[in-house]
Structure 1
Amino acid sequence: MEHNHDGMLRRGKAVEHMLTVRQTLLTDRSTETVALGEGINGRVLAQRIDAERDVPAFDYATMDGYALNTSDDYPLDIVDTGVFPESEPLALEEGQAIRTATGAPIPERANAVLKKEAATIEDGRLDGVTLEPGTFIYERASNVTAGETLFEAHERLSAKDATLLRDLGIETVAVHKPLSVALLATGTEIHEDRITDLDSPMVAELVQSWGHKTTYVGTVPDEYDRIEARIAELSKAFDVVMTTGGTSVGEKDYVVRALESLGRVIFHRTRVRPGKPIALAELPNATAIAVPGKPIGAHTIMTLIVRPFFTGETTLPTVHAEMTDSVNIGSEDFEYAIPVLLSGETATPLGHVDSPLSIYEMTFDPSVLSASTRATRADGFLITNNSVKKGEIVPVVPYEVVE
């Protein structure tokens, strides 16, 4: 494999590859049934869900008051009986109004609700203000129309989805079984306990927060044969093999070479810094994702490129803040994820000489910052391929939206 900048992928293209592999992996994946309230949050739907009925199934009142027809003139005769949420729909005659509770079905012919506070009653007759049709009425099918697709197959569910699902009359959903993920740390210095493995706990926490099962399977030294053999072994027992370290182009960076030998490397290295030397590969029995070994680089590439593989989500919600310092970048051919501290409406680049972590002066240094565990104290990161100036308003991705 050639190692030059021309072969590096843009972030968007790398994410496309991740999503394609995810789609293929989920297509034939076994499923299980989960009841609402028993753990659908973070699970991945196995099939599309279409509405089988209109929601609501009838017009109902959203306010306590009186149901009436807006074309009738006041005063209106009040029907003796009232309607409540448990009532069967009634019929209203011309010139009549009927006492109505919130959630009650709107009687036939009625098209508005006069709220109780606006009503005047004298001698059993109702007077009130002029209303527009539809006032205080939740109209049939205004929420959901029968036949409408509401959830796509392979969509990741959240806790709030339980509300709509139950409103559709659904009590259980078919979801894909979580992926089994082997996490293997590479590096002789780690294998021999001379350097602490800083990446594996963080990577495991991320994958588990995205709804999948992670097993830390230990370490392997920088020896090609042992790396290849261990990945091959793990690929037979797990759906995904994730490695940390050994993904660059150094003399002892053997991981990508091993993946090439065992299967097909879909891409290696992206135009994202820190974290550019990520690799994605298809093995005969598993998917392999090789993550760079520096902790901040590993976290950046996990949240920006690997996250869509596990969640299907690609959006990056942002908040806007004013930069407290100018930051230059090395090359506009790369996207830079610059960690920042948020305070009120300002963003301080963590690592800048004027921040609590002093790594660079004016030009962002992803190589050194990538190794700094103190940089994890940032609140979010700015993605840019241009230098930014002091006082500039920038979009910041808070870490909590990608973890």
Structure 2
Amino acid sequence: MGCCDVKGLMPIDLALTKMQAELTNVCQSITLPLSQALGAVLAQDILSPLNVPPFNNSAMDGYALSHADLNICSCEQPIVLKEVGCALAGSPYIGDIPRGCCVRIMTGAVLPTGVDTVVMQEQVSVSEEQLTFTRSPKFGDNVRLVGEDVMFEQRVLKQGHRLTPRDIPLLASLGLETLQVFRKLKVAVLSSGDELKSLGEPLNTGELYDSNRYSMIALLSRLNVEVIDLGIIKDDKSALKEAFIKADQQADVVISSGGVSVGEADFIKAVLAELGTISFWKLAIKPGKPFAFGHLPNSVFFGLPGNPVSALVTLYQLAVPAMEKLSGMAVKSAMRFTAIMQDDIRKKAGRTDFQRGLYFVDKAEQIVVQSTGKQGSGIFSSMCQSNCFIVLEQDRGNVMAGERVTIEPYTHLLD
């Protein structure tokens, strides 16, 4: 069955492409101190203002010498040199180094003029003023060259890069006190449904605790966005309309869960059509078919399904890449690779299926994956027990144990 046979359902790849084409960065550039920039998105390329390291220096505690002074041909005889001074980190050795002499040097110290090689102290025997080298070094041993890490005016990070803990020390080594980054994306979230109760309230028959809003806020916190929590909105068209107007005035993005299906009390689609536009509504994915994407006057709207697994899967797979584009972040493809399926799993052709799995390396050093069991859209324990999605292609049917499947390990947003 091809995608054209799934009446009214848009393939997920087409939905992702359509959203990326419709969206642009909405976040202005601001200045932040480096100490506050973790997680922010760069608003410009970072060009190095200096060489790193800015001078030739020693990578070891030892002795700096000129390799040309060594009688390399007399390998059977020990190499004996005389120490004439000491170079410390922050306190360079100043002076000449006569032929046949060397300088004691500490890690990070500037390499004195006229020397090009450092022998680590463990390979040197000291007797009075004479130093015997137990190993003949190679030219340039244990020397860090100027610009070896980063060259002057080298582009070290690109605009759109989200700063990680690995980036901060690199930028500090360049002496960058402040950075131009994009402001945080403002995201308003709400849950819709008469059956939903807030935590701490007693449950009556037919009622459920609102877990989707906590799911959304938890994931969004790792995107480094500003979250506006609008709480639970009852299945009332007027209340929903008022909530969407309020959200649109405050946020760049509005995300709801529930109310986008075809039930009599599902008003969100109607409200969205009144206030803005709907780009698409139903997708050929499982879980999460009733996913809505559209535009309000001042913001972008994502309508997630009400079932908890469906809500999280569509938020992660569809809304997150769109929000990355809106925040100025360079959108990257998900990391996927193949694994050997350990179980038989059921699937009907017609929708791309994101089943929950647990992958690992077996005794034969092969990547294998097993199902977490029941895959219903209301069984959230399947998410907690998993570390990846088993991504089953739209046209694919049942999978037998031993077949190869595509897996997508969870990123930091879910792990």
SS in 1 for 2:67: coil
User: Separation in 2 of the partners of 1:77 and 1:46?
Assistant: 54
1:379–1:398: 8 Å Cα contact kept in structure 2? no
User: Separation in 2 of the partners of 1:394 and 1:92?
Assistant: 65
TM-score by length of 1: 0.82
Pairing 1:97–2:118 present? no
Please name the residue that 1:354 is paired with.
Answer: none
Measured against aligned partners, the alpha-carbon deviations of 1:264-299 in whole angstroms (never above 9, x if no partner) come to: 434434433212332332322122121111110111
Match of 1:314 among 312, 315, 332: 332
Residue 132 and residue 335 in structure 1: after superposition, are their counterparts in 2 closer, same or farther (change >3 A)?
A: farther
User: Separation in 1 of the partners of 2:320 and 2:26?
Assistant: 15
- Mapping of residues 392-403 of structure 1, within 5 Å: 392=403, 396-399=407-410, 401-403=412-414
Query: Which ranges of structure 1 fall in alignment gaps of 5 or more residues?
Result: 352-358, 360-365
SS in 1 for 2:246: helix
Residue 168 and residue 266 in structure 1: after superposition, are their counterparts in 2 closer, same or farther (change >3 A)?
A: farther
Residue 266 and residue 97 in structure 1: after superposition, are their counterparts in 2 closer, same or farther (change >3 A)?
A: farther
Please name the residue that 1:180 is paired with.
Answer: 186
Please name the residue that 1:286 is paired with.
Answer: 299
Please name the residue that 1:129 is paired with.
Answer: 135
Q: How many residue pairs are counted as aligned between the two chains?
A: 381
Pairing 1:336–2:344 present? no
Residue identity matched to 1:324: Q
Match of 1:80 among 51, 62, 84: 84
Q: Which moved more, 1:179-188 or 1:141-150?
A: 179-188
User: Separation in 2 of the partners of 1:268 and 1:57?
Assistant: 56
Please name the residue that 2:26 is paired with.
Answer: 25
Residue 344 and residue 151 in structure 1: after superposition, are their counterparts in 2 closer, same or farther (change >3 A)?
A: closer
- Mapping of residues 57-206 of structure 1, within 5 Å: 57-74=54-71, 75=79, 77-88=81-92, 90=94, 92=97, 94-121=99-126, 124-190=130-196, 194-196=206-208, 197-206=210-219
User: Separation in 1 of the partners of 2:116 and 2:228?
Assistant: 60
User: Separation in 2 of the partners of 1:15 and 1:140?
Assistant: 45
2:29–2:180: 8 Å Cα contact kept in structure 1? no
User: Separation in 2 of the partners of 1:284 and 1:92?
Assistant: 74
Residue 336 and residue 223 in structure 1: after superposition, are their counterparts in 2 closer, same or farther (change >3 A)?
A: same
Match of 1:274 among 281, 287, 307: 287
Q: Which moved more, 1:70-79 or 1:177-186?
A: 70-79
Q: CA RMSD in A?
A: 3.2
1:60–1:138: 8 Å Cα contact kept in structure 2? yes
Query: Which ranges of structure 2 fall in alignment gaps of 5 or more residues?
Result: 72-78, 198-202, 363-367
Please name the residue that 2:47 is paired with.
Answer: 50
Q: Which moved more, 1:118-127 or 1:297-306?
A: 118-127
User: Separation in 2 of the partners of 1:163 and 1:147?
Assistant: 18
For residue 182 of structure 1, report the CA deviation from its aligned partner. Answer: 1.6
Match of 2:385 among 371, 374, 378: 378
Identity %: 24
For residue 140 of structure 1, report the CA deviation from its aligned partner. Answer: 1.2
TM-score by length of 2: 0.79
Which structure is higher in RCO with an 8 Å CA cutoff and minimum separation 6?
Answer: 2
Q: Which moved more, 1:12-21 or 1:297-306?
A: 12-21
Measured against aligned partners, the alpha-carbon deviations of 1:246-273 in whole angstroms (never above 9, x if no partner) come to: 2234555442343343234344344332
Residue 87 and residue 371 in structure 1: after superposition, are their counterparts in 2 closer, same or farther (change >3 A)?
A: same
Q: Which moved more, 1:56-65 or 1:222-231?
A: 222-231
User: Separation in 1 of the partners of 2:405 and 2:289?
Assistant: 23
1:93–1:109: 8 Å Cα contact kept in structure 2? no
Residue 68 and residue 31 in structure 1: after superposition, are their counterparts in 2 closer, same or farther (change >3 A)?
A: same
